[in-house]
Amino acid sequence: MPELKRTALHALHAELGARMVPFAGYEMPVQYKPGVLKEHLHTRAAAGLFDVGHMGQVILRPRSGALADAALALEALVPVDLLSLAEGRQRYGVFTNAAGGILDDLMITNRGDHLLLVVNAACKAADIAHLRAHLDETCTIEVLDERALIALQGPEAETALARLAPEMAGMRFMDVATVPVSGGEIWVSRSGYTGEDGFEISLPAAEAEGFAKALLEMDEVEPIGLGARDSLRLEAGLCLYGNDIDETTSPVEAGLSWAIQKARRRGGDREGGFSGAERILAELETGPARLRVGLRPEGRAPMREGVALYAAAEGGAAVGHITSGAYGPSVEVPVAMGYLPAELARPGTTVHGELRGKRLPVTVAEMPFRPSTYKR
């Protein structure tokens, strides 16, 4: 196996007693001494610090000097309205393929004279190659290997971060800013992957450990691993690439239609023009054959990725499957998401998941399972 990469906070994880696991080619902390349940609940109650330095940070800078040229070039790869993305704002998007499937999901930020993209670790190399293959003539593509990325999430995240960077307190959900701190500056977005108010912070790798330690000295802040990150995002109804979305899944099937703005839809100012537009625009108008849904298994046993779903308690072929599932510590019941035919996707519908050879009832549920607390 290839040697695992390490983030700028690797030594700190070891110092904190983290249990490290391979993830997307990196050695990452799955949990610390308190364990996944306590880390999850601490993030919901106070503030959790996450190392997300394995993710990719990429700058697209227009060769012409006009940001609109970079925005239009990137619009050929994502079904997102980027011309209307204001400076200092961030937008969620997906790279799509010719069949309308999702190559990756990402965050796109307008930083004035360039766009900043944050992509998933597992897709990072392929995403960068995709950008170079399609945008090299219109944009310079700079991979920020020397920057770290951390996330501070939870209801007390603002209180904690404001001690180091008071200027960020006025930011709202999906705002981005360059904020001065002792010793330099950080790039802050008010966003995250937990359903909580919080921030993602890009900073030079050499400064990451000191900044993280300064946060961890605060009573509100505890380090949080990948295990709790997964249960937090699942309660928030957020997709994990490779599980809930992939190259076979369209954005409409995945319930991500909200991320396709009016300008890119039928009749919009820049209708289509992205990979897979024919399928995606048709599904927006007539609906897809299947949909991602929230699921609540009966009882206390979680139903995890790969569990087959059936329309009836007995007989018949599988009609869908679970893509993510776990016990939800905040809601105190098992939660899951998966895909079902559109006619079975209405909340309140009962289907059955096969667990250890038995079909058990599962109810289609609204997502998120726990209301999100973003600062609007």
> Contact at 8 Å (CB) between 157 and 190?
no
Considering 235, 254, 275, which residue would you say is the last residue of a domain? Answer: 235
Residues whose CB is less than 8 angstroms from the CB of residue 39 and which lie 6 or more positions away in sequence, other chains included: 31, 32, 48, 222, 223, 224, 225, 227, 228
Whole-angstrom CA distances from 156 to 47, 159, 186, 215, 222 are: 5, 5, 19, 12, 11
* Tens of pLDDT, residues 273-289: 999 999 999 999 999 99
CATH (domain of 195): 3.30.1360.120
pLDDT band for position 184 (cuts 50, 70, 90): confident
Q: What is the extent of the structural domain holding 39?
A: 10-55+146-235
Of residues 370, 13, 23, the one with CA closest to residue 194: 370
Same structural domain for residues 164 and 22?
yes
Distance CA 303, CA 293 (A): 14
Same structural domain for residues 229 and 296?
no
Considering 201, 235, 269, which residue would you say is the last residue of a domain? Answer: 235
* Tens of pLDDT, residues 345-364: 999 999 999 998 999 999 99
266, part of any domain? no
* Tens of pLDDT, residues 329-342: 999 999 999 999 99
pTM, two decimal places: 0.96
Same structural domain for residues 30 and 178?
yes
Same structural domain for residues 29 and 151?
yes
Task: Give the type of residue at 353.
Answer: G
Same structural domain for residues 48 and 162?
yes
67, part of any domain? no
Considering 216, 235, 254, which residue would you say is the last residue of a domain? Answer: 235
Cα atoms in the Cβ-side hemisphere of radius 13 Å centred on 134: 19
- pLDDT at 203 (0 to 100): 97
- pLDDT over 90 at 105, yes or no: yes
- pLDDT at 1 (0 to 100): 58
Same structural domain for residues 34 and 180?
yes
Same structural domain for residues 182 and 294?
no
3, part of any domain? no
100, part of any domain? no
Q: Dihedral, CA atoms, 122, 125, 259, 173, nearest 10 degrees?
A: 80
Instruction: Determine what percent of the chain is predicted with pLDDT higher than 70.
Output: 100
Q: Dihedral, CA atoms, 82, 85, 91, 95, nearest 10 degrees?
A: 10
As for how many domains the chain has, the answer is 2
The mean predicted confidence, pLDDT, of the chain is 97
Same structural domain for residues 215 and 330?
no
Same structural domain for residues 337 and 224?
no
Instruction: Determine what percent of the chain is predicted with pLDDT higher than 90.
Output: 98
Same structural domain for residues 325 and 218?
no
Same structural domain for residues 231 and 293?
no
325, part of any domain? yes
Q: What are the tokens at 336? A: 């899951």
Same structural domain for residues 155 and 297?
no
- pLDDT over 90 at 209, yes or no: yes
51, part of any domain? yes
- pLDDT at 207 (0 to 100): 96
CATH (domain of 316): 2.40.30.110
89, part of any domain? no
193, part of any domain? yes
